[in-house]
Amino acid sequence: MALLDNLDNIIQDTEKAAECFQVLANSTRLLIIELLLNGEMSVNDIAAACDQSQPNISQHLRLMRDRGILKSTRDGSLIKYSLKDRRLKDVLQKMKEIFCK
């Protein structure tokens, strides 16, 4: 009975989690997260590290920022990106343990 009383919250939580996993279900975005585990970076630095164009990386960064995974800060004319929640490191480690071994 308690499950049914809490079903609306469970549905909302699973929908939000599914949305986050959709964002993470992209190798470029996972690589970006891995890079940002080491600290904030500019779009140009991320693009160079990923060997992809700056406009392509900008699209990924915008999506991840809009979904609450990344945050951005302005340093003069330079925008730097970082992880909004460092616990993503734990999520990535668990994903690797489950799927990459």
pLDDT along the chain (101 residues), means of 10: 76 90 93 96 97 97 95 94 93 91 81
What architecture does CATH give domain 2-99? Orthogonal Bundle (1.10)
pLDDT, position 78: 93
pLDDT, position 81: 97
pLDDT, position 7: 86
Q: What is the DSSP string of the chain?
A: -HHHHTHHHHHHHHHHHHHHHHHHSSHHHHHHHHHHTT--EEHHHHHHHHTS-HHHHHHHHHHHHHTTSEEEEEETTEEEEEES-TTHHHHHHHHHHHH--
